[in-house]
Amino acid sequence: MPSTEPRGPRQIYQALIWSLKGLRAGWRFEASFRLEVYLCAIVLPLGLWLGRDAAEKALLCGSAILVLAAELLNSAVEAVVDKVSPEFHELAGRAKDMGSAAVFLLMLNVVLCWGLVLWTRFTP
């Protein structure tokens, strides 16, 4: 049953704390997430510099941030699957593979976005 209490500053602050805990857990336990954060530390300033207008900047930076979000969701799925089904099960493996595929597709999206923006920039 949904909460009938209105959201106020205290609930918003608590949601922020939980989000920061999630980011910290991703950093601490997921090597892939750390690598993607390092790449974002390079890609985000570059995207802000290379983007000609707000839309290009948003496309270049936003595509990279989506990879981080998908990696966290993939890690969450893997943690829940490992907790619920510690032994191998076909459905558990499929869930993990699909989470990994989502991250991969968003990485392809980064390459596509950056490629198209840079292609238009450096071709006559």
Residues marked as catalytic: 71
Alpha-carbon dihedral sign for residues 68, 71, 75, 77:
positive
Rounded CA Rg of the chain: 18
| Cα→Cα distances 19→40, 47, 105, Å | 19, 25, 24
Contact between 95 and 77 under an 8 Å Cβ cutoff? The reply is: yes
